[in-house]
Amino acid sequence: MSHEELQGQYELYAMGVAEDPERSEIREHLDRGCEVCMKEMRRARQVASMIGAAAPPATPSAKLRRRILASVGAEQRSFGWAPWLGLVAALSLVGAFYFEARERSSLEELAAVRSQMRQQAVDLTRLNEAMTIMNGADTRQVNFGAGPKGKIFVNPALGVLLIATNLPPAPAGKAYEMWVIPKGAKPVPAGMFQSQADGTAMHVRTGPVDMNGMTVAVTMEDQAGAAQPTSAILFAAPLQ
Ligand SMILES: [Zn+2]
């Protein structure tokens, strides 16, 4: 594989999310001390650290990968990694803008890019949280579907991760609210989220949960959020 073909892969590698064959290829180049790749990796690590992202300690395990692919089913295979890879690609782009702006020494542009990077860093934190929940040994997963489709991952110590497709963006002033409903108790607010233009959404609520008989549900609420659901439940996933 040529170095041109590896362009854009170094950032993914630095963040621990590169995929094969590029991942193995880069590792092999680094192992044999390829100077081009070592230079690229130094640059990529700089980008990753400037974005404020602590690179995940390891590449996603095979188990995690299987879990993600299984979570969306064969017919929705294209979903899989797409939201995350899109995010990481966006991060690489931000890095590229950063360097371009720095060379032009435009303070204004730099300020704009920095604020963009801060936003992306928040997203990367969520990505890491999501991966941690998915990869947890005690994590359980439940499907939901009929209209919006997707998967809920629950880990008793780490929290709840919701991944949805076919969920249209909420109208102006509205947003989706996730609820954790403990067995025989009132719904507990578990955070607001929006879906992307392509109808995909990812939402994480970190912190311990009692999985015994709990249900995870989603309603549409005013953007500010509600303390109790004020509209019909759009979809719910009971943990058996
Ligand atoms: Zn190389």
Per-residue pLDDT tens digits for 192-239: 998 877 677 888 899 999 988 999 999 999 999 999 999 999 999 998
CA of 202 to the centre of ligand 1 (A): 35
Higher pLDDT, 235 or 16: 235
Considering the chain, what percentage of its residues have pLDDT values greater than 70?
62
pTM over 0.85, yes/no: no
CA of 99 to the centre of ligand 1 (A): 22
Q: State the pLDDT at residue 108.
A: 52
Q: State the pLDDT at residue 51.
A: 46
Residues of the chain with CATH 2.60.40: 140-238
CA of 52 to the centre of ligand 1 (A): 26
Give the chain as a DSSP string. Answer: --HHHHTTHHHHHHTT---TTHHHHHHHHHHTT-HHHHHHHHHHHHHHHHTTPPPPSSPPPHHHHHHHHHHH-GGGTTTTTHHHHHHHHHHHHHHHHHHHHHHHT-HHHHHHHHHHHHHHHHHHHHHHHHHHHHH-TT-EEEEE-SSSEEEEEEETTTEEEEEEES-PPPPTTEEEEEEEE-TTS--EEEEEE---TTS-EEEEEES----TT-EEEEEEEETT--SS--S--SEEEE--
CA of 101 to the centre of ligand 1 (A): 27
Would you say residue 45 has pLDDT above 90? no
pLDDT, one tens digit per residue, over 91-138 is: 544 444 444 444 444 445 445 555 555 555 556 667 667 767 776 778
CA of 127 to the centre of ligand 1 (A): 28
Residues 42-71: what's their mean pLDDT? Answer: 50
Would you say residue 62 has pLDDT above 60? no
Higher pLDDT, 13 or 211: 211
CA of 33 to the centre of ligand 1 (A): 8
CA of 35 to the centre of ligand 1 (A): 7
Q: State the pLDDT at residue 156.
A: 94
The yes/no answer on whether domain 140-238 falls in CATH 2.60.40 is yes
